[in-house]
Every structure is written in C-alpha cells, then in structure tokens.
Amino acid sequence: MFIQHFEEIITLTNGIKLISITDSVEKFVKSSKIKNGVLNLSILHTSASLIIQENADPDVQKDLINFYDKLAPMNNSLYIHITEGNDDMPAHIKSSLTNTNLTLSVKNFKLQLGNWQGIFLFEHRLESQKRTVFLHLLGEL
Amino acid sequence: MFIQHFEEIITLTNGIKLISITDSVEKFVKSSKIKNGVLNLSILHTSASLIIQENADPDVQKDLINFYDKLAPMNNSLYIHITEGNDDMPAHIKSSLTNTNLTLSVKNFKLQLGNWQGIFLFEHRLESQKRTVFLHLLGEL
Amino acid sequence: MFIQHFEEIITLTNGIKLISITDSVEKFVKSSKIKNGVLNLSILHTSASLIIQENADPDVQKDLINFYDKLAPMNNSLYIHITEGNDDMPAHIKSSLTNTNLTLSVKNFKLQLGNWQGIFLFEHRLESQKRTVFLHLLGEL
C-alpha cells in the first residue's frame, strides 16, 4: 500500500555554514515505516540551499564555503540588488548554483546514500536565520 | 487513490531572461485535483534551464543574468564548440550549473514553495526559442 | 497498479570525462514494463556527478570539462583539504555545482528527454574509479 508522509525540519542558523541534516532525515524515514519510496526535500528559501557532500573531513566544508565566497563575493559594487545587505545577492547566486530540492530513494527501509555522502543545509546569509526544510516521503509499507 | 497527470508548458522566449512559470505550474496542480503528491518538472533542452529564485525584486534576476554571463562569457576564443553561435556553449554551461529537473511537493492541494520562491525558466540563448517544460504530477486525490 | 523497480549501473571510469548512461537508463525503463512513472537517479559519490547535456557534438563535453577545470583548478594552494590528491577538492566542488540526483518522468513507456538531451555520469577524479548510479522507478504498469 502506497502512503505519504510529510515533515518539516526547522534549523536555526548562525552564519555561513554547512549543517548536516542527515540524521534528522534518516530519523524521519525510519519513523515513516515506509519500506520503498521516493523522498523529496525542499528548502523553502532562496538564500540557503541543499547539497549532498562529503561527511568525513570538515575541511571539505571550509573549502566549499571559500570557493563559493570567491565565486560570488560579498561586494556591493558587483550587484544591483543591494538593499538587503552585501551577503544577500551572493546568497541568491550560491543558492542557484546548488540545490533547492533533492530527491532521494529509499530501498529496504534505507535511504540510498553513499558511504561518504551527507545531506547538508548550506546557509549563505551572515545573520541568524530560521530555515525550513520540507520532507515528503511517498512509498510502500 | 494514486493517479498521474501530465502537461506541457510551451514558452516562446526572446533573449536571455528569467521567465516565471509559477502561475502555470500552480494552475496545473489545481486542475489535477491531486491533494498530496510529487511534481516533477523537466525542461527538454540543454541551453535553457529551470531555477527556483526570489519572486519579489526583479533586480535579483538581472544580477543572476550578469553573474552567469561573466562566469561563462560569450567569447568564442574560450570554446571549441562554436558552430552554433557564441551564445550556445555558454548556454550549455549555464544549463549545467542550474537545473534541468526540479521536483516539488504538493500537500493539501498546495505546492510547497516558500513565500519568496518562484519557479523560473532561465533562457540562455539570444535568439527567440520555443521551450517545452514537461510537468508530471503523481499523487492521491 | 503502482510498483517500484530498482537497479544499479556500475561504471568503471578512467579520468575526467562525461560518460553517457542514457542507453542503460532507457533499457532499465523498458525492462520495468512501467507505463507512467517517476525515475530517480542517485550517484552514490561526492567526487563524480550527474548531468543532462547535449548528446550530439562531443566538443560540448570537452568545453564543459575545460570550464569546470578552470573554475575549480587542481591547485593545492587553493584548498585546505589536500590529503586525497590535488584533484579531490576540485572534484567535490564540481560535484556540488552539478547534480547528485536527477528525477525524470516516464510517460507511455518513454523517458521524457529532449531530442538533444543525454544523461551523463561526470567523472571528476583523475584515477580510475568504480562508480555506482542507483536507479529507482516508481510507477504504473
């Protein structure tokens, strides 16, 4: 029998950072009792995003942050949209380069991630934000 | 009862631009009568793409266009594939950096988008093009 | 009746390259006998990724490889995470800029791809790797 489950993960952020949500997502999958199905994640913002990245060496996260900061610098002279702070337009750009949605598979009650893969919320704003990731699992018990 | 609905959104573009398709997508969701489900969008081209971005200040769209133009300049000396015009290879690159597919969730008849999120077709070619976005909703009445 | 099918495509890579997996994916769709459904692809790695790109002129692939190599150069002085080789951190960055997951639609037994679209595994590491792409089709016979 196919069923659907929904949940929201609320995260309070404080600055530009990658925040692992893998455990919360896996807990939701487990609690759903769904054996096989499709899991869709949506971040409901345009200045934070979702990525799947290495879960082992935290230096990878630092390098990712540095890379995106250099690619879309916080420099108002580069942008027209500057009223919301010099980190806002870079945040929109970084969001467009990564993901607003991720769709994953569940097989035999297990989220299909590689050994070195983690799911991260990528915060692109400097000030503290309340971020919502919407989880939606559609599958069979 | 689970059912599936399909539709195509055809858009005539005229130059590099972000074109909101949020209303068309929401109309399709409404007309499907599906209460809860997964909505998949596919753009059937490799020189235009899909992004979810801010729907409020149109300057964000201008800055996004400028950013991607600087990142992948229309300069034939940079590319091998130049037979289709100096905007073609940059268009493929911009497409690869954004999205060909987006998967969204529908809960209680409502597409799960944040307040400031809109769905955009991102046209990367200079000349007028006819673009097809394929919509697919799988869910329960 | 809704059913689900799973499969893994294993690819041995040898260097930075785009490798078409379109035929393998379409073969899986055909063998599933599913008429209409959602197909989710997950690459279970963080230094290789998935993209949908032009399937015609192989120069497009060369230009994409060049573009990403320039954007995230193999230069250890740029990164903190350097213990796994000078191609590893660039590989993580390129993976974050492209896709770990792709969700496509199947309608009337046909994968919805444009005429010029192919599905590619994008290998970002220099040395030979064994890569797994997980396929998951959920749909109706």
Q: One digit per residue, pLDDT tens: chain C, 141 residues?
A: 999 999 999 999 999 999 999 999 999 999 999 999 999 999 999 999 999 999 999 999 999 999 999 999 999 999 999 999 999 999 999 999 999 999 999 999 999 999 999 999 999 999 999 999 999 999 999
Which residues in B lie closer than 8 A to residue A103 (C-beta atoms)?
103
- The CA distance from B34 to C45, in Å, is 35
**Tokens 């005229």 sit at which residue?**
B14
Give whole-number Cα distances, A133 to A50, A102, A114, in Å. Answer: 9, 11, 21
Neighbouring C-beta atoms of residue B77, cutoff 10 Å:
7
Whether the predicted interface score ipTM is above 0.90: yes
pLDDT for residue A8: 98
Weakly modelled stretches of chain A, pLDDT under 50: none
Q: Is there a contact between C37 and B138 if contact means CB atoms under 8 Å apart?
A: yes
Beta strands in C1-141 (DSSP E): 2-13, 17-20, 36-43, 48-54, 101-107, 110-111, 117-123, 129-140
Average pLDDT, chain A: 98
Over residues B68-80, the mean pLDDT reads 98
pLDDT for residue B134: 98
Q: Is there a contact between B81 and C140 if contact means CB atoms under 8 Å apart?
A: no
- The CA distance from B128 to B16, in Å, is 9
Distance from the C16 Cα atom to the nearest Cα atom in chain B, whole angstroms = 16
- The CA distance from C110 to C34, in Å, is 9
Cβ atoms of A29 and A139 closer than 8 Å: no
Q: Does C101 touch chain A (CB under 8 A)?
A: yes
Beta strands in C33-100 (DSSP E): 36-43, 48-54
Give whole-number Cα distances, B80 to C18, C61, C64, C69, C97, in Å. Answer: 16, 10, 10, 15, 22
pLDDT for residue B125: 98
Cβ atoms of C94 and C70 closer than 8 Å: no
Average pLDDT, chain B: 98
Chain A neighbours among B 15-34 (CB < 8 Å)?
none
Q: CB under 8 Å to B52, separation ≥6 — which residues? A: A46, A100, A101, B102, B113, B117, B118, B119, B120
- The CA distance from C106 to C112, in Å, is 6
Q: Is there a contact between A101 and B97 if contact means CB atoms under 8 Å apart?
A: no
> Chain C: residue nearest B73 by CA?
C67
Q: Does B35 touch chain A (CB under 8 A)?
A: no
pLDDT for residue B77: 97
- The CA distance from A139 to A39, in Å, is 8
Give whole-number Cα distances, C53 to A137, C56, C99, in Å. Answer: 29, 9, 12
Task: With CA atoms as reference, report the closest residue to C34 among C126, C111, C125.
Answer: C111
Question: pLDDT exceeding 90 applies to what percent of chain A?
Answer: 100
- The CA distance from A67 to C78, in Å, is 9
Q: Is there a contact between B100 and C112 if contact means CB atoms under 8 Å apart?
A: no
pLDDT for residue A135: 98
Question: pLDDT exceeding 70 applies to what percent of chain C?
Answer: 100
pLDDT for residue A34: 98
Residues β-bridged to residue C107: C110
pLDDT for residue C111: 98
DSSP A16: S
Q: Does A86 touch chain B (CB under 8 A)?
A: no
Q: Does B55 touch chain C (CB under 8 A)?
A: no
Phi-psi region of A47 (alpha: psi -120 to 50; beta: other; left: phi over 0): alpha
Residue C96 dihedral angles phi and psi, to the nearest 5° = -70, -25
H helices of B1-141, where?
A: 22-32, 58-71, 88-97
Task: With CA atoms as reference, report the closest residue to A26 among A106, A116, A114.
Answer: A106
Q: CB under 8 Å to C37, separation ≥6 — which residues? A: B4, B138, C2, C105, C106, C137, C138, C139, C140
For B94-108, write each residue's pLDDT tens digit: 999 999 999 999 999
- The CA distance from C35 to A136, in Å, is 24
Q: Does B9 touch chain A (CB under 8 A)?
A: no
Distance from the C5 Cα atom to the nearest Cα atom in chain A, whole angstroms = 9
pLDDT for residue A94: 98
Tally of CA atoms within 13 A in the half-sphere of C35 that contains its CB = 9
Cβ atoms of C124 and C16 closer than 8 Å: yes
